[in-house]
Structure 1
Amino acid sequence: MHEVGVGPWVGPWPEGDHWDPELLEHGDRRNVVDAYRYWRHEAVVADLDTKRHSFHVAVENWGHDFNIGSVIRTANAMGAAAFHIVGRRRWNRRGAMVTDRYQHEHHHADAAALAAYARERGLALLGVDNLPGSVPIETYDLPRGCVLVFGQEGPGLSEPMRAECEAVLHIEQFGSTRSINAGAAAAVAMHAWVRRHVFDQHV
């Protein structure tokens, strides 16, 4: 079986406060990109804080949905500013693969609390769900500062959350299924923001 990560550091140890002596001595098997191998956890977070994007991700957590971890893992990969859990404070972290440790987590009791957080910071609250009246994310002008909100698998966005959202966006589909997995939808939505604000040279 292929072993993840790298073994103990070979040769003289590098100098710098960001290096972790334990990892240098025993190896680094964490799920991090090569640029962060052997770095202290706190140093990785601090470096990420200098390059995070300005979109946030929020997930409603009413039924302990296992897809939440997948959403959070993608939020890490896409460089989200932070992630927000709405509803139950405890959430299923298995799918996150420990990536939540490198992000900033916020908890909100309900949709109104999340909306208040967004308003205070000038962030547009945008739901992502294929609901009647929703608009295609492919043609929507995603704002730079926003919170992309996802409901739990099955029910989707709650009624109170829909009411708080500035707009509800859907992902265009071309097959027979009514919806796609919540984790997959979140990945598509986040990447749409990245394409709009990171790679679009006309912004």
Structure 2
Amino acid sequence: MPSSSRPPEPGSSVGSDRRLAPVQPSPPPPEIGVGPWEGPWPEGDQWDPELLEQGDRRNVVDAYRYWRHDAIVADLDTRRHDFHVAVENWGHDFNIGSVIRTANAMGAAAFHIVGRRRWNRRGAMVTDRYQHEHHHRDATTLAQWARAEGLTLLGVDNLPGSVPLETFDLPRRCVLVFGQEGPGLSEAMRAECAAVLHIEQFGSTRSINAGAAAAVAMHAWVRRHVFDQQV
């Protein structure tokens, strides 16, 4: 004779007398930035009256809170570094935005888009607005511009014949060139570069994300030409 069964009581686990803990609601995410300015407004042309009144929720460091956009760009222009960043844009790669965001964080002089003029800006998180943007039709036009400016083109890709980034003496005035995720640097771009550098890896994967590789390469420049000079 089959035994009778009843549905489990609400809040209990099947086959056990233990009750499930109630689900706690997630706390609301913290507000980004700062609210309206408190107290008398500061004096100076760099301040934005609208931000002072309504608050500043932008993705900027604290030193630039409540500043006008053009004032921030002008201040950055007084201390940008001597390296540029170039990205080939053939497939609307999302990683381009990540590269540009890091270029902003590392103080790159400017960024260059090679190929299609329109590029995927989502990953940049609006940081491209604080950088100088240049467009070049192809690798040849980028190389011509770089020569005129006295800049060395350096590709970053793990290709046969590439040399380790870790032991390469990065020149101060250079353009670090990155290909899109998957195909990497085009053959035309490789031919224009004075050298192609790779990042040493020690695991099983063949390559790392293009945005991550760009961050490593830019920070290598910063360590070589900023921190080494402070020692």
Pairwise TM-score range, normalised by the shorter structure? over 0.9
Deviations 1:6-41 (A, max 9, x none): 000000000000000000000000000000000000
Look up the match of 1:177.
205
1:189 aligns with 2:224: no
Look up the match of 2:18.
none
1:25 aligns with 2:49: no
**How many angstroms apart in 1 are the aligned matches of 2:91 and 2:46?**
39
Shift of 1:201: 3.1
Letter of the 1:37 partner, please give it: R
Look up the match of 2:7.
none
**Bigger relative contact order, structure 1 or 2, given CA contacts below 8 A and separation 6+?**
1
What TM-score do you get using the length of structure 1 for normalisation? 0.99
Shift of 1:90: 0.1
Larger radius of gyration: 2
**What is the percent sequence identity of the aligned residues?**
88
**How many angstroms apart in 1 are the aligned matches of 2:230 and 2:117?**
40
Look up the match of 2:69.
41
Q: 1:53 aligned to 74, 81, 85, which one?
A: 81
Q: 1:111 aligned to 139, 160, 167, which one?
A: 139
1:68 aligns with 2:96: yes
SS at match of 1:56: strand
Look up the match of 1:84.
112
**How many angstroms apart in 1 are the aligned matches of 2:162 and 2:173?**
20
**How many angstroms apart in 1 are the aligned matches of 2:112 and 2:160?**
25
Unaligned runs of 5+ residues in structure 1 are none
What TM-score do you get using the length of structure 2 for normalisation? 0.87
Q: 2:130 aligned to 102, 121, 125, which one?
A: 102
1:133 aligns with 2:165: no
**How many angstroms apart in 2 are the aligned matches of 1:202 and 1:69?**
31
SS at match of 1:60: strand
**How many angstroms apart in 2 are the aligned matches of 1:39 and 1:156?**
38
Look up the match of 2:226.
198
Provide the alpha-carbon RMSD of the alignment. Answer: 0.9
**How many angstroms apart in 1 are the aligned matches of 2:120 and 2:187?**
23
**How many angstroms apart in 1 are the aligned matches of 2:63 and 2:144?**
37
Deviations 1:164-193 (A, max 9, x none): 000000000000000000000000000000
SS at match of 2:140: helix
Shift of 1:202: 7.9
State the 4+ residue runs in structure 1 displaced beyond 6 angstroms.
Answer: none
How many residues in Structure 1 have an aligned counterpart in Structure 2? 203
Look up the match of 2:10.
none
SS at match of 1:200: helix
SS at match of 2:167: coil
Shift of 1:144: 0.2
